[in-house]
Structure 1
Amino acid sequence: MDKLLNSNWFVKVIAFFLALLLAMGVSMETEEDNANKLLWTMSSKKSETLNDISIVPYFDQQNYVLTDMPASVDVKLSGPASLITKTTKVDRAFEVYIDLTKQKAGSKKVKVQIRNLPKGLKASVEPTYVDVTLHKKITKEVPVNIDLKNIRKLPSGYSPGETEFSPRTVKLTGAEEMINDISFITGFVDVGKATETIETSVPLKAYNSQGEVVDVAINPETAKVKVPINKPKKNVSVSVKQKGELPEGLRLNGISVKPGDVSLTGPQSLLDEIDEIHAMEIDLSKVTEDTSYEAELIIPEGVKVSADRVTVEVDVEETEVSRTFKEIPLTIEGLAEGQEADILNPGSGFTDITVTGKKEVLDQLEASDLQAILDVSSLEDGEHAIKIAWKKPAGVLLEDPMLEATVSLTSETSTSETSGTEDTNKNNESTSQQLKERID
């Protein structure tokens, strides 16, 4: 025995078993304490009040509408603390409700009930009864209105156009008394400070005759709305600038513009500065006849115009022009045989003449087309004032022409006179030659 006690390994074994026994004793004591604590907890009871618990109503929702029901009640739970904690913090399976499934329309006082509580818990509800009203449910189709807000806050010169919206009617579902009390369905669009077309969706609400919102179901609940915003507008005339002069022979009767005025839109401050719009200028020097053409408008920056082009019509007519022809020869016709003529006035035997007519006619006119005829037929010898007969093309007018000339007529009476006549003829031939050279 002494040997065993003196052995190291024997001592170690004994120490191990002693430690094991000590540990088992401590463990048993801890488990016992825990069991005692659990038993105490399970056996302890308490109560807890839950405030504002929602009430779930059960009724025939297809045919009735429920009103006047309180939103919530208070529920007092009594029982083991662990069950209360489990019910309120973990499961949350209980339900507070009222049962109206077999009730008809009218005012009711119904009991508030609770279910799905675990065994061991008791509950009381405050208030125990609630007053509610069941209404007969109806559906009615009514028209929709869209009202515009803050029209006065639109920028200067801007105004709302005709409002477009859809749908035009909606279906209302709710208590018969409420539906019958509804005066209008309205959505509101705020147009304040708008400068462009507004396209939006707005919620619809039902209002009674006092302007109070009525809580009914609206289908659809929103309307799509389009509100055109009219910008400041101003009508101004269109003018055409001109440069150059019409060619000779043309006269300007007028220039017309179609359309004669256009509509401008833009900021009011810009419109106030514009009194007319100009079309691209026309060069009259290139106009040879009545002309119609399209002209672009010169549009000021920052404004819009109802048309960017106009039709310009230039109305012209031909006018008479004048031409002066120099040294038109006076031609003598109707001399008798042996008779000679001498033009005394004008002594040169020529005259100047100014003619008028259409330019295209006068451009083709030559001096040889104008003839001044002195008819001496049946006149006796001597000096005579003879009316000049002018021959000219059609369409040509004479301006202040020479009307008569003085001519001396002589006839042969003797040989000497014949000789003299021959000399005269020679002189006439010389004069005729001079006339011809001048004409040429």
Structure 2
Amino acid sequence: MDKLLNSSWFVKIIAFLLALMMYTIVTMETQEEEANRSIFSKMYTESETIQDVQINPYFDDDKYVLTDLPSSVDLTLTGSSRLITKATKVDKEFEVYIDLTNMKPGNKRVKVQVQGLPEGVKAKVKPEYVDVILHNKVTREMNVNVDLKNTRKLPEGYTAGDVEFSPKTVNVTGAEGMIDQISFITGFVDVGDAEEPIQTKVPLRAYNQQGDLIDVQINPGVVDVSVPIKKPKKTVPISIGTNGELEEGLSLQSITSDPSEITLTGTTTSLDKFESYNEISIDLSKIKKDTTLTVDVPVPDGIDAISVKEVTVNVNVEKVESDTDADIEEEITRTFNDVPLTLLGINDEKQATILDPADGVVDVTVKGKKSVIDSLDKSDLQGIVDVSDLEQGTHEVKIDWKNPGDIDLTDAVQEASVEIQTETSSQ
């Protein structure tokens, strides 16, 4: 036995057998572990479907525009729950994509791919392929327009003025075919209920001839817009008042103004208070002879603006006898036949017809000093019928008689029956 132990061959054989035995034991344990691991893996493998996963397209977006790409796909992941949780809840590094790099324009059917999943997780995409179109990208300069909406909802009497906006042109970028379809580029400003000027920024959109939106990039995408909102206006006659008295020996013949009308701007409520403008008064004590004055026109309370800043006032006087007989000058009465009434407030869009008195003329009886009456002409008598605020239909309107001087109207018609016709009603 000692000889065997001392033999090198014997020792080598024993060592080889021990090594072979150890290898067999380790191999059997490894196979058993792998089998157990395989069974364990099969027992804990699961699937999870993630819906509406966005597709990221890869292409040369400096040259091309991609259309018809589905907004999302469904992705089913298969693997251990630990790895699926790691991919979807922890790492979140996976990506669903299509690769169109180095492709030319045209219709393409491409495979939907997934990357960034942990090893051991398999992915299935539904649908597996998508159909897309790759277009040439072009940029063109195009004109811009701004339109108003809800103009009928403006407060009564208010109107929108001409729209000012900037810029007038923009650069439009998109698929060549879509650019060719563009009919107009516009933005919209809502003026409903506006009582003050509008300053705003308006987004722009591109539309085809049928009014459908075109999906393109607009640069800049907004314009600065200014919309003036004009307040209601009303035109009324100017009535010149007096204060003080003429010196002895003078008699007032007439007071007239040029212009004879004024346009007031304000709210409808404020304008309703004015049938005439009587904010100007002349001091008769300063009048010594026929006089022409330039008078500033004040803005009445409640009115925002007036059409004129000054008017010319003509004051006509006449010298009278200073002796006792002259002072007791005889008063006489005289009738002027067929004095025409004057219509105020008609225009191209509104016409008026006086139904009564017939033919729009009346007989007017005046009373005053003989010298005054003798110098009076029919044209000096003026009966104004103001239809500015009247709408279509028949109306009874008060006649505003303008007294030309020191006379009394003793028998003058006070109302006229007027029929209003607007441009719309006559069509």
TM range (shorter): 0.5 to 0.7
Q: Distance in 2 between matches of 1:164 and 1:295?
A: 34
Structure 2 alignment gaps of length 5 or more:
1-35, 327-427
Q: Where does residue 239 of structure 1 map in the other structure?
A: 239
Q: Distance in 2 between matches of 1:298 and 1:87?
A: 77
Q: What secondary structure, in the 3-state scheme, does the structure 2 residue paired with 1:65 have?
A: strand
Q: Using the TM superposition, give the Cα deviation of residue 42 of structure 1 relative to its aligned residue in structure 2, in angstroms.
A: 10
In structure 2, give the amino acid aligned to 1:169: T
> Identity over the aligned pairs, expressed in percent?
51
1:279–1:52: structure 2 CA closer, same or farther, 3 Å change rule? closer
Q: Distance in 1 between matches of 2:176 and 2:219?
A: 16
Q: Distance in 2 between matches of 1:316 and 1:136?
A: 83
Q: Where does residue 358 of structure 2 map in the other structure?
A: none
Q: Distance in 1 between matches of 2:318 and 2:191?
A: 60
Q: Distance in 2 between matches of 1:283 and 1:224?
A: 53
Deviations 1:277-330 (A, max 9, x none): 11342221233354635345372x432331685345454578475579xxxxxx
Q: Which moved more, 1:132-141 or 1:196-205?
A: 196-205
Q: Using the TM superposition, give the Cα deviation of residue 194 of structure 1 relative to its aligned residue in structure 2, in angstroms.
A: 1.6
Q: Where does residue 144 of structure 1 map in the other structure?
A: 144
Contact 2:266 2:305 in 1 (8 A): no
Superposed, 1:150-189 pairs within 5 Å as 150-189=150-189
Deviations 1:168-198 (A, max 9, x none): 1211110111110011111111112222212
Q: Where does residue 298 of structure 2 map in the other structure?
A: 297
Q: Distance in 1 between matches of 2:56 and 2:320?
A: 106
Q: Where does residue 62 of structure 2 map in the other structure?
A: 62
Structure 1 alignment gaps of length 5 or more:
1-35, 325-353, 355-440
Q: Distance in 2 between matches of 1:41 and 1:128?
A: 27
Contact 2:249 2:322 in 1 (8 A): no
RMSD over aligned CA atoms reads 2.9
1:166–1:46: structure 2 CA closer, same or farther, 3 Å change rule? same
Q: Where does residue 211 of structure 2 map in the other structure?
A: 211
Q: Using the TM superposition, give the Cα deviation of residue 139 of structure 1 relative to its aligned residue in structure 2, in angstroms.
A: 0.9
Contact 2:254 2:317 in 1 (8 A): no
1:197–1:211: structure 2 CA closer, same or farther, 3 Å change rule? same
Superposed, 1:260-299 pairs within 5 Å as 260-288=260-288, 290=291, 292=293, 294-297=295-298, 299=300
In structure 1, give the amino acid aligned to 2:82: S
TM-score of the superposed pair, with normalisation by structure 1: 0.59
Contact 1:185 1:206 in 2 (8 A): yes
In structure 2, give the amino acid aligned to 1:101: T
Alignment pair present for 1:86 and 2:70 = no
In structure 2, give the amino acid aligned to 1:222: V
Q: Distance in 2 between matches of 1:63 and 1:179?
A: 15
Q: Where does residue 221 of structure 1 map in the other structure?
A: 221
Alignment pair present for 1:100 and 2:100 = yes
Q: Where does residue 110 of structure 2 map in the other structure?
A: 110
Q: Which moved more, 1:221-230 or 1:133-142?
A: 221-230
Contact 1:258 1:310 in 2 (8 A): no
In structure 2, give the amino acid aligned to 1:130: V
Q: Using the TM superposition, give the Cα deviation of residue 96 of structure 1 relative to its aligned residue in structure 2, in angstroms.
A: 1.0
In structure 2, give the amino acid aligned to 1:208: N
Q: What secondary structure, in the 3-state scheme, does the structure 1 residue paired with 2:279 have?
A: strand
In structure 2, give the amino acid aligned to 1:283: D
1:123–1:295: structure 2 CA closer, same or farther, 3 Å change rule? closer
Contact 2:239 2:280 in 1 (8 A): no
Q: What secondary structure, in the 3-state scheme, does the structure 2 residue paired with 1:277 have?
A: coil
Deviations 1:46-75 (A, max 9, x none): 222222211110001011100011111222
Q: Distance in 2 between matches of 1:156 and 1:112?
A: 60
1:249–1:98: structure 2 CA closer, same or farther, 3 Å change rule? same
TM-score of the superposed pair, with normalisation by structure 2: 0.61
In structure 1, give the amino acid aligned to 2:265: T
Q: Distance in 1 between matches of 2:100 and 2:116?
A: 19
Q: Where does residue 120 of structure 2 map in the other structure?
A: 120
1:91–1:309: structure 2 CA closer, same or farther, 3 Å change rule? same
Contact 1:185 1:205 in 2 (8 A): yes
Q: Where does residue 49 of structure 1 map in the other structure?
A: 49
Contact 2:251 2:320 in 1 (8 A): no
Q: Distance in 1 between matches of 2:119 and 2:305?
A: 84
In structure 2, give the amino acid aligned to 1:114: V
Q: Using the TM superposition, give the Cα deviation of residue 144 of structure 1 relative to its aligned residue in structure 2, in angstroms.
A: 1.4
Q: Where does residue 399 of structure 1 map in the other structure?
A: none
Contact 2:263 2:306 in 1 (8 A): yes
Q: Distance in 2 between matches of 1:298 and 1:216?
A: 53
- Rg (Cα) greater in structure: 1
